[in-house]
Chain A
Amino acid sequence: MQQASIQQFRVNLKSFFFVLIAMFMTSFSAIAEHAAEDHQEEEGFNAGEVIMHHVMDNHEIHIGPIHVPLPIILYSKEKGLDYFMSSHLTHGSSYKGYAMVHEKIYHVGPDGELSHDEHGHVVGERPLDLSITKSVFGMLLTMGIMLFVFISISKSYQKRQRMAPQGMQSFFEPLILFVKDEIAKPSIGKKYEKFLPYLLTIFFFIWIGNMLGLIPFIGGFNVTGNIAVALVLALFTFVITSVNGNKDYWKHIYNTPGVPWWLKFPIPLMFVIEFIGFISKPVVLTLRLFANITAGHIIILSFVSLIFIFNNLYGAGGGYGVSILSVAFSIFMFAIELLVAFLQAYVFTLLSALYFGSAVEEHHAH
């Protein structure tokens, strides 16, 4: 029975990879089309711009050749709340006194035009942009998947008490047990159950978010690779750590035990070092997740862009020739990114758990 389900899982995984690779191949055409469309007026192909465009947040989703507009929600003190679809703001047109340049929305001046400074940069006030952007949509989608999956498997746990897991349950149970027994328990210790819901939530949010970003052809989400998302996650970890920090934890920062007194007085060297460590934890947590996921996207997109660059340089022959290598390399990167998707979720969760562990640890002797 166990053997059979593992076998089944392997088969599923295999077909999953094939589907992924197939989707990836088909997405080339989508990227090509998009690139061509975006840069019709320009000479050549600007790989950097295309890549950044895909990595950054967007006010619309590109599903293949289709551009799906997303709702824009804006708030400013002068104009209050405004909402409309993003299709009104595409191609530089202004709507309701707003205009969008490089995915940033500005108030237009009284003449209906944006003002530029001498470098050609836009100057002007920006309203608070609460739009459902591509990343917000991806984030909500990830959370929706999580709610659906975990509430339904919780139900099946209630229905099938003390029985072997089944279906979706058997897919997620090893991961839940992994977070519980391999991350939370050894890093935090006795009090791990208090932090387990948070750790499970960030683990699956990051993992599913990362995987969502790897599915080509559905808009190229870069949820976890967006610095705002990574920052919020890191801040949650930081706040939970600080709230749960016991006397020993704080004492370790402002008056580290076990070091010579001259490291603390007259210059509080130890305090400065400990304080930098305290602040840098959420910063590195943010940057690690953001950089790893974004870099993966950039590398894959770069390999794909090579085809168009060579196409422009040496004609169609060059493009086709390079595409063989490009496809091979991007598939290789894809496989690595699947690993990285899991690894980054693991690392983020593990570090959070370690921080919680240090916050609640009882020091007896140093």
Chain B
Amino acid sequence: MNPLLPELGLVLWMSVAFLVVLFLLKKFAWKGIIKALNDREEFIERSLKSAEEAKAQMSDLKADNEKLLIEARKEREQILKEAKEMKEKILSEAKVTASEEGNRLITSARSEIDKEKNQALADIKKQVAEISLEVAEKVIRKELSDQSAHESLIASHLEQQSN
């Protein structure tokens, strides 16, 4: 009973069984397990990398959006400003045309008035001439009767007319 002496039978059993098991495990277990582990490792690494890339893209997109927003804001301001200017311009233009129109109307009215007035004056002159003629007729007729009466009559007529 010496535990330091290896039994030949056990050595043979162990060698044969170990070789068989090594072969079987290598073929049916380790190959698949190691491949699956490596695959998964690679997959995880790749997924992490793509996640990182997606994150970067996302932040890029966000920056782009911000830029777009700023630009849009700027454009809006620009448009608003332009609209304001336009409004002012239109307003002032309208004012100018309105005042021009007014002036034109006024002048035309004035000329009309002048025309009417002249016409009226001409009419009056004509009437005065007629009335004068009538008066002269009447006076002539009266002169036949009373000199003074004629004079007063002409005077009163004239007064009436001038009123």
Q: Which residues of A contact B (CB under 8 A)?
A: 52, 55-57, 102-103, 128-131, 133, 135-136, 139-140, 143, 146-147, 150-151, 153-155, 157-158, 161-162, 173, 176-177, 180, 193, 196-198, 200-201, 205, 226-229, 231-233, 236, 290, 294
Contact yes or no, A129 B25, CB < 8 A: no
B8 within 8 A of A: yes
Contact yes or no, B37 A205, CB < 8 A: no
Contact yes or no, A151 B29, CB < 8 A: yes
Q: Can you list 21 A-B pairs with a CB-CB distance of less than 8 A?
A: A55-B3, A57-B10, A128-B8, A130-B13, A146-B21, A147-B21, A147-B24, A151-B24, A154-B31, A154-B32, A155-B32, A173-B37, A177-B37, A196-B30, A197-B30, A200-B30, A201-B18, A228-B7, A228-B14, A231-B6, A294-B3
Q: Do A140 and B17 contact each other (CB < 8 Å), given the known contacts A131-B9, A154-B28, A177-B37?
A: yes
Q: Do A228 and B22 contact each other (CB < 8 Å), given the known contacts A56-B1, A103-B1, A158-B32?
A: no
- Chain A residues with Cβ below 8 Å from B7 are 57, 129, 133, 228
By DSSP majority rule, is chain A's interface helix, strand, loop, or mixed? helix
Q: A236 CA to B43 CA in the complex, in Å? A: 35
Contact yes or no, B9 A147, CB < 8 A: no
- Chain B residues with Cβ below 8 Å from A103 are 1
- Chain A residues with Cβ below 8 Å from B1 are 52, 56, 102-103
Contact of B14 among A128, A197, A229 (CB under 8 A): A229
Contact yes or no, B37 A197, CB < 8 A: no
- Chain B residues with Cβ below 8 Å from A133 are 7, 9-10
- Chain B residues with Cβ below 8 Å from A231 are 6, 11
The smallest C-beta distance from B28 to any residue of chain A, in angstroms, reads: 5
B5 within 8 A of A: yes
Q: A153 CA to B22 CA in the complex, in Å? A: 16
By DSSP majority rule, is chain B's interface helix, strand, loop, or mixed? helix
- Chain A residues with Cβ below 8 Å from B4 are 227
Contact yes or no, A201 B3, CB < 8 A: no
The smallest C-beta distance from A55 to any residue of chain B, in angstroms, reads: 6
The smallest C-beta distance from B115 to any residue of chain A, in angstroms, reads: 105
Contact yes or no, B32 A157, CB < 8 A: yes
By CB atoms of chain A within 10 A, which of B7, B10, B34 has the most? B10
- Chain A residues with Cβ below 8 Å from B31 are 154, 197
The smallest C-beta distance from B61 to any residue of chain A, in angstroms, reads: 29
Q: A130 CA to B31 CA in the complex, in Å? A: 32
Contact yes or no, B37 A180, CB < 8 A: yes
Q: A76 CA to B31 CA in the complex, in Å? A: 41
- Chain A residues with Cβ below 8 Å from B30 are 150, 154, 196-197, 200-201
| 8 closest A-B pairs by CB | A150-B29, A157-B36, A228-B6, A228-B10, A154-B32, A197-B26, A197-B30, A129-B9
- Chain A residues with Cβ below 8 Å from B43 are 162
Q: A24 CA to B39 CA in the complex, in Å? A: 43
Contact of B15 among A140, A197, A227, A232 (CB under 8 A): A232
The smallest C-beta distance from B43 to any residue of chain A, in angstroms, reads: 5
The smallest C-beta distance from B16 to any residue of chain A, in angstroms, reads: 10
Contact yes or no, B22 A197, CB < 8 A: yes
B12 within 8 A of A: yes
Q: Do A162 and B39 contact each other (CB < 8 Å), given the known contacts A150-B30, A154-B33, A193-B34?
A: yes
The smallest C-beta distance from A179 to any residue of chain B, in angstroms, reads: 10
- Chain B residues with Cβ below 8 Å from A157 are 32-33, 36-37
Q: A158 CA to B8 CA in the complex, in Å? A: 40
B67 within 8 A of A: no
B40 within 8 A of A: yes
The smallest C-beta distance from B112 to any residue of chain A, in angstroms, reads: 100
- Chain A residues with Cβ below 8 Å from B33 are 150, 153-154, 157, 176
- Chain A residues with Cβ below 8 Å from B26 are 197-198, 201
The smallest C-beta distance from B39 to any residue of chain A, in angstroms, reads: 7
1/0 contact string of B29-51 vs chain A (CB within 8 Å)? 11111101101100100000000
If A197-B34, A290-B3 are given as contacts, then 20 extra A-B residue pairs at C-beta distance below 8 Å, sorted by A number, are A129-B8, A133-B10, A143-B21, A150-B30, A151-B28, A153-B29, A157-B32, A157-B36, A196-B30, A197-B30, A198-B26, A200-B25, A201-B18, A201-B21, A201-B25, A226-B10, A227-B5, A228-B14, A231-B11, A233-B18
Contact yes or no, A227 B6, CB < 8 A: yes
- For residue A143, which residue of chain B has the nearest CB? B21
Q: A180 CA to B41 CA in the complex, in Å? A: 13
